[in-house]
Structure 1
């Protein structure tokens, strides 16, 4: 199966987070047909990571995630691009990594493993499970794939997901003085957060806050007794100073429920590649047992998660060569200058 055919075959299988079972089975069958030894590592009742090897102790691993954000968008293509959900995030990357690994194998290089996880787009439950796998201790380098425009990321911001929940008192809307609006309290808090100066880091850049969801109230004629907002904060520091800043802003007016947290990570640099810091987070913070982390992949994060997601075919082809060259460099050289390091 060609690089483009494999990309489209993967994209044709819906795998929104929590529904990765079918694409995992497809990968297992495809890799076994190619001669790989494949393990489905259980993560939950209907979710499995895919782990594929050519020998017992692969030193370099290629990895990314099988899940996508909603909604499912089937693939289409023209002469230059493949469009649809997962084109660049991250099914095109899976196809490029498998193609690269097969080329390395043809050259007699078998110190390569493949690891594909579930639920990266939610809470990285697949990565957390993979981190406990015994093969992790034998890994020297983990090349994670995300859309970096084929640049080598030397750092990625963290992510801090939380809910802010307010409580009030229900009352008839004609008599607002008898109630206490949880929505108005929440709006005041969110306005204060929007004007809060969060930490800046010279390496990672600005801390940013996205108010992603707002929910509350019962009916138009009832003073709302409950309201909540979901926030995603892109971390450039550890979590603690952000929590302290939020608590100072909220001043007891709401409850904070932490959903998940991944701290920013400095990644492994290799000469010969364009390097940059990316603003998004990945599975890498949850895979600390898998050797030194690297991050590179085709496509632009700016079109990932959009209705117009695509990947350039030439970028897929370039990424195959980059994965091959990167793996060869890592296998041939004992790099020791950087370790997997959270800030």
Structure 2
């Protein structure tokens, strides 16, 4: 048994170093094709490569879904003992490797489980949207994101991305009685809500562009607003605040992802908790302030939750690192949880 454990840990290390060495920022997920071709043959799992360059392995009504894309900025992989450094080590190639091996081991035991390495999670979630639009349904979906190895995520906030375009009358700056930049700035200060409390929505300006000449007030201004809100907030009320303050401007919704919250007493969440307890670890329920593919994939399953190895505070940083221990714990948590769910259905 100890030998099997060491061989599995070696396989985790081998796969993680290999996949972290492949630079796959959003939009360049096709770089991983040879990796998944090889894995498909080695693990005897049917491979499907989708139009968005997502990778599906195996078949079944239980889905282990992580994402293959990363934020931009390649980091040269580095190994220090059982710690692996590199872009995506935490978000989310560590969780991906744990799910990949869990899928293989579960299928070897006769359980029908599918694995997905989805594309564009760091962008517009093209892979998750494509899967939802494919018509596939699952009894259970576990989303593989870093959740500090012991946290089970049952809630994500929703997001609204708004483009606001305002127009004014250009005037010479030496005699201008009105200024579009000043007007926009006043409105921004009135609607701005910093992200302080999880259950209070936030409105954060992230981009503003205006003006063409150094001595002429602008005729147009562009503003982007990033809005985050929980299930306790009303999206329409938030939009009405923006519309009221920018009523002379045109407002376009460029992204609209609803918040998601699942019951702490769902069978999937309880199985994940017991999957950790079985290994002697104490699980925790948690919620995240951002969004993930869970917000989208919730539409094609009866039960969903997010769980994965890795310190979430290291996501998108230049110090992404994860240990083999963390991935090994997550791998066994996935296996324990899915075996329990499948046995209950018999």
TM class, shorter-length? 0.7 to 0.9
Aligned length: 318
Q: Which residue of 2 is the match for residue 262 of structure 1?
A: 257
- Mapped contact 1:148–1:278 kept (Cα < 8 A): no
Q: Are positions 1:3 and 2:1 aligned together?
A: no
SS of equivalent residue, structure 1 residue 71: coil
CA displacement at 1:189 relative to structure 2: 1.6
Q: CA–CA distance in 2 between the matches of 1:197 and 1:144?
A: 25
- Mapped contact 1:24–1:66 kept (Cα < 8 A): no
Q: Which residue of 1 is the match for residue 289 of structure 2?
A: 279
- Mapped contact 2:168–2:219 kept (Cα < 8 A): yes
CA displacement at 1:89 relative to structure 2: 0.9
SS of equivalent residue, structure 2 residue 316: coil
CA 1:6/1:245 → structure 2, altered by over 3 Å: closer, same or farther?
same
Q: CA–CA distance in 1 between the matches of 2:205 and 2:86?
A: 26
1:242 paired residue among 230, 238, 255: 238
CA 1:9/1:210 → structure 2, altered by over 3 Å: closer, same or farther?
farther
User: Mean alpha-carbon deviation: is it higher for 320-329 or for 75-84?
Assistant: 75-84
- Mapped contact 2:194–2:203 kept (Cα < 8 A): no
CA displacement at 1:4 relative to structure 2: 2.1
CA displacement at 1:155 relative to structure 2: 1.4
Deviations 1:266-316, CA, capped at 9 Å, x for gaps: 235214342112222111232211442121011233221222222233212
- Mapped contact 1:189–1:249 kept (Cα < 8 A): yes
2:38 paired residue among 29, 36, 39: 29
Q: Which residue of 1 is the match for residue 180 of structure 2?
A: 182
Q: Are positions 1:110 and 2:119 aligned together?
A: no
CA 1:99/1:329 → structure 2, altered by over 3 Å: closer, same or farther?
same
SS of equivalent residue, structure 1 residue 292: strand
CA displacement at 1:121 relative to structure 2: 1.4
Q: Find runs of 4+ consecutive structure 1 residues off by over 6 angstroms.
A: none
Q: CA–CA distance in 1 between the matches of 2:194 and 2:241?
A: 8
TM superposition score normalised by structure 2? 0.83
Q: CA–CA distance in 2 between the matches of 1:302 and 1:82?
A: 16
Q: Which residue of 1 is the match for residue 145 of structure 2?
A: 146
CA 1:247/1:13 → structure 2, altered by over 3 Å: closer, same or farther?
same
Q: Which residue of 1 is the match for residue 7 of structure 2?
A: none
- The unaligned stretches of length 5 or more in structure 1 are 336-343
- Mapped contact 2:36–2:47 kept (Cα < 8 A): no
Q: Following superposition of structure 1 onto structure 2, how do residues 11-22 of structure 1 map, counting pairs within 5 Å?
A: 11-22=20-31
SS of equivalent residue, structure 1 residue 242: helix
- The unaligned stretches of length 5 or more in structure 2 are 1-9, 275-282
CA displacement at 1:181 relative to structure 2: 3.3
Q: CA–CA distance in 2 between the matches of 1:183 and 1:87?
A: 42
2:208 paired residue among 190, 207, 214: 214
CA displacement at 1:173 relative to structure 2: 3.1
Q: Are positions 1:322 and 2:333 aligned together?
A: yes
SS of equivalent residue, structure 2 residue 28: coil
Q: Which residue of 1 is the match for residue 278 of structure 2?
A: none
- Mapped contact 2:64–2:99 kept (Cα < 8 A): yes
Q: Which residue of 2 is the match for residue 169 of structure 1?
A: 169
Q: CA–CA distance in 2 between the matches of 1:144 and 1:196?
A: 28
CA 1:149/1:109 → structure 2, altered by over 3 Å: closer, same or farther?
farther
The structure in which a higher percent of residues are helix is 2
TM superposition score normalised by structure 1? 0.84
Q: CA–CA distance in 2 between the matches of 1:302 and 1:263?
A: 24
Q: CA–CA distance in 2 between the matches of 1:233 and 1:224?
A: 26
Q: CA–CA distance in 2 between the matches of 1:146 and 1:240?
A: 29
User: Aligned-residue CA RMSD in angstroms?
Assistant: 2.5
